[in-house]
Amino acid sequence: MITCTSQVICMDYGSVWYKACPADRSPLIIFFISYQTMASNNTNATTTAPLASKDKQVLVTMAGPHGTDIVGAVLDCLANHPCDINDCMLSRLYHHVTFGVLITLRSDSDAIFKSLAAAAEKWDATLTYNVPDTEATEPPVRHSQEEGRLGERDPQGVPPSLEEAPYVGRFKYAASLLNQNGLQPAFLRDWAQFCLKYRISVEKLSPLNKDGGMLSCADFRLSVPQTLDMSKLRTDLFELSSSHGTDIALQRDDVFRKNKRLVVFDMDSTLIRQEVIDEIARHAGVVDEVAAITEAAMNGEIDFKESLRRRVALLNGTSVDVIEKVKESLTFTEGAHFLCRALKKLGFKLAVISGGFMPLALYVKAELGLDYAFANQLKVSWDGKTLTGETVGPVVDGIRKAELLDVLAQAEGVTPKQVIAVGDGANDLWMLNKAGLGIAFNAKPRVQQQAPSRINQKSLKYVLTLLGFSEQDLEQLSSDY
């Protein structure tokens, strides 16, 4: 039995490997499940060589314990016989390699198959063949909940890559699964059933956590039917995520996923742990009144502009010196410094767009090395000693945040698809939905439900996980700091 410390090592074209460290700390156990797929899977993999004919496509798969020797043996055979290589795929665990090559025969001779068979025997390898069929239909699905699947069977075809599921009319998505306490078997089981229900094909699984540790984050590449109701899918995905306390971030797997260039952060309860207006109110002796209005605003129960007006009015007569005291008491969110430094190292531009106040936004900007800061400006008395209970200039509410995101994207010469937005409040939803990747960070339930993605972990470093960066990548990014 695989315990909660189980880890999927890899799931690629030719194999699935599971690693488990039992609860009693007995020696490591490795499970290997070999599987075969092909450009069209209406025919099973066979060890019998197909009838050779010119221009026929054949998927050749060789698997065995001799690592690179397997790769070399297959390529040597192909080099000595007339054929074209259309695609290839490699999966490895330690010495064991599964190597698949899609070829087009350029003669009617079966000598190539004899050569491959001899090589397989030499290297103690398993050799199988598949012949793609572009007219294939989806085979019967053998699982216990077949009746729960949505929609009709998908038409099939030869995909552009062996890594891709052999169905037409699909979008490519990436799903990041994240739980700092470990991805539990019960959750992974329900996640697999979710994919089956929606006819979502898993094309690749990549663990992102550190080697040897418990599986806590994984990146899935998915083939999703274009006909799905994505609104319903995301609603069900949120329910699955909430029921297991595990984050699932679903985003289009396209060129923009790892080519984001601008990150926009909310400030209060995102980059810092506090709500700054509550901290100012604490020094002014009106913290309870202000905190109640803040809570209602973050939950979306009160319009942000109205809530800001009410809260700022309660600060009338407060000494401006409290701003410096609040700066001294600010606590940055775990991972905030690392995330911002790592992003800068990767060439990102960073901004804070806050419904708070400029003196504190500028302080956070300087501490984290951000490029831009936008926030509300508190009006002070004629002698500059006290707050008047008013603001000056445009109010940075939810709509303004989205507008500023657009302005920054234009200034940096990027599209909204290349922007990441991170926030926790209802007034952040506009910019979260405007950005290519919008992340609700430890947000209120209503905000999480309406946000495109969410992170409910302690550290902001997991923003990088949603971009597909592994823990090894994060270690490399931190090595110079």
E-assigned strand segments in 21-95: 29-34, 57-64, 83-93
The three-class DSSP label of residue 411 is helix
Q: Which residues lie closer than 8 Å to 406 by C-beta, 6 or more apart?
A: 416, 434
Distances (CA, A) of 173 to 225, 249, 251, 255, 377: 10, 10, 6, 11, 41
Q: How far apart are CA 66 and CA 96, in angstroms?
A: 6
Of the candidates 285, 301, 264, which has an alpha carbon nearest to the alpha carbon of residue 403?
A: 264
Residue 138: half-sphere exposure toward Cβ, Cα within 13 Å: 15
Cβ-contact 354, 267 below 8 angstroms: yes
Please check whether residue 73 is in contact with residue 124, taking contact to mean a CB–CB distance below 8 angstroms.
no
SS3 137: strand
Cα(332)–Cα(329) distance, integer angstroms: 10
- Positions annotated as catalytic residues are 266, 268
